[in-house]
A and B are shown apart, each in its own frame.
Chain A
Amino acid sequence: MFPAPFEYHRANSLEEALELLARFEGDAKLLAGGHSLIPTMKLRLNTPAHVIDIRNIPGFAEIRRSGDQLIIGGGTPHAAIEKSAEVQRSASALAHAAAVIGDPQVRNMGTIGGSLAHAEPAADYPAAVLAYDAQIVAVSAEGERTIPAGEFFVDLFTTALEEGEIIKEIRFPVDGDTVRSAYLKFPHPASRFAVVGCAVRLTMDGNTCTDARVAFTGVAATAFRDEGVEQDLIGKTLDDAAIKAAAQQAAENDELEFMEDHFASEAYRKHLAKVYAERAICTALGR
């Protein structure tokens, strides 16, 4: 299968990529790893006249620590995030999520910026960036702006990014000594996308939970934070009964637009959300 014809441009800097985006006025697509874009181009769901390759921009795939922040360049492949000792140490749930995306070949090509911009409702990263309250830094000809993860995912395949913006980097708060985090998913057996994925980030004082972030992907039209579970964890001593009780609150918000398909009904997804909330909390706590 071949995509419709297009002109190929290789950008050697973010400035050059932004200039090209502006020049083609909405008739261009950014190509980083291409593992979301190229399949849609083969199906002719996307037929851009211009493709701007941003994969080789120097410094665009860097992982660095700056004070209490872990900063990941938009062009960083999943495999680099999965295998980074820095990410494993300072953002466990993010490393867990990167490690279970697709398969090794997909993880070598696909990038975090590309995945977030695509906003596939069953992608793994959205749950992790929500659980971390990560900051998504978008750059355009007008300059930079920071979009909080909670405002980034607008709808199915729709984000808060504006035309002409590129995800430059994503900033995560580092876990620190009192934080326990994990990401677990029930993968679709063929596609490996998350039927249900759960990211948790718990701040602990001994066995007592002082803060909790619990986010799901795959369950609804966009990834979401589940305040029902979070509120039921905060202030509790996390013994087996407390964890189980909190997990039962998962996916009970009727305002969510739940997903349903031939593989998993809405009821099954809600059930899995409770199961994976419990497992992710237990994994984060090392139980």
Chain B
Amino acid sequence: MEVPIKVTVNGVLYEREVEPRLLLVNFLRDVLDLTGTHVGCDTSSCGACTVLLNGKAVKSCTIFAAQVDGAEITTIEGLARNGELHPLQEGFWQEHGLQCGFCTPGMIMAAYQLLDENPNPSEAEIRHALEGNYCRCTGYHNIVKSVQYAAKKLNA
């Protein structure tokens, strides 16, 4: 039996009926056409599917859409404002924080929660906060620099 849900995604309220086994990541991608959130490992390891659930970074491949009834979700599509990239998005661009880009939306959403809680993190704190996100291209070095760029810009 389908379950009715009301969920606010990037500030827009959606009312949909979902099959209970529909995963949040597939709800975002296939129902709402928000394909910026990626399916990577599908086993809550790689972090490519990371979104914010009521402000906290979570792996949307391991959450049912039915569970987020009444919640607020933010995806990578919800970060830019009036055509201006969020400092994290700008940081990944400026500091070459990506190569193929597959992990990038998840990296940015995980880093978003970090900077929200700790506006001036050390390199070690950045690496610790991104433990749940795998990148197979960059070796992480430029990702750390990208987050540092964003922290600096947000604190300016």
Contacts and interface: CB of A to CB of B under 8 A. Distances in A.
B69 interface: yes
Given A7-B1, A53-B66, A191-B45, A108 B20 contact: no
B62 interface: yes
B43 A104 contact: no
A38 B64 contact: yes
A104 B131 contact: yes
Contact of B56 (A1, A55, A79): A79
B123 interface: no
Contacts of B69: 10
Contacts of B66: 8, 10, 53
A109 B63 contact: yes
A51 B113 contact: no
B88 to A, nearest CB: 15
B8 interface: no
A102 interface: yes
B59 A106 contact: yes
A109 B62 contact: yes
A111 to B, nearest CB: 13
A7 B62 CA distance: 17
B44 A35 contact: yes
A5 B132 contact: no
Given A39-B43, A108-B58, A109-B63, A2 B132 contact: no
A192 interface: yes
A5 B44 contact: no
Interface in A1-40: 1-8, 10, 31, 34-35, 38-39
A104 B50 CA distance: 11
B21 interface: yes
B3 interface: yes
Interface residues of A, number: 30
Contacts of A3: 21
A190 interface: yes
A110 B52 CA distance: 15
Given A8-B3, A103-B131, A108 B57 contact: yes
Contact of A105 (B3, B21, B57, B64): B57
Interface in B17-39: 19-23
A191 B45 CA distance: 7
Interface in B50-76: 50, 53, 56-59, 62-64, 66-67, 69
Interface string B109-133: 0100110000000000000010111
Nearest to A41: B21
A108 B68 CA distance: 14
Shortest Cβ-Cβ A-B pairs, 5 listed: A103-B132, A8-B20, A108-B56, A103-B131, A105-B132
30 contacts: A2-B21, A3-B21, A5-B19, A6-B20, A8-B66, A10-B66, A10-B69, A31-B67, A34-B62, A35-B62, A38-B64, A39-B62, A51-B20, A51-B64, A53-B66, A53-B67, A79-B56, A103-B132, A104-B110, A104-B131, A105-B50, A105-B57, A105-B110, A106-B44, A108-B53, A108-B56, A109-B62, A109-B63, A191-B45, A192-B131
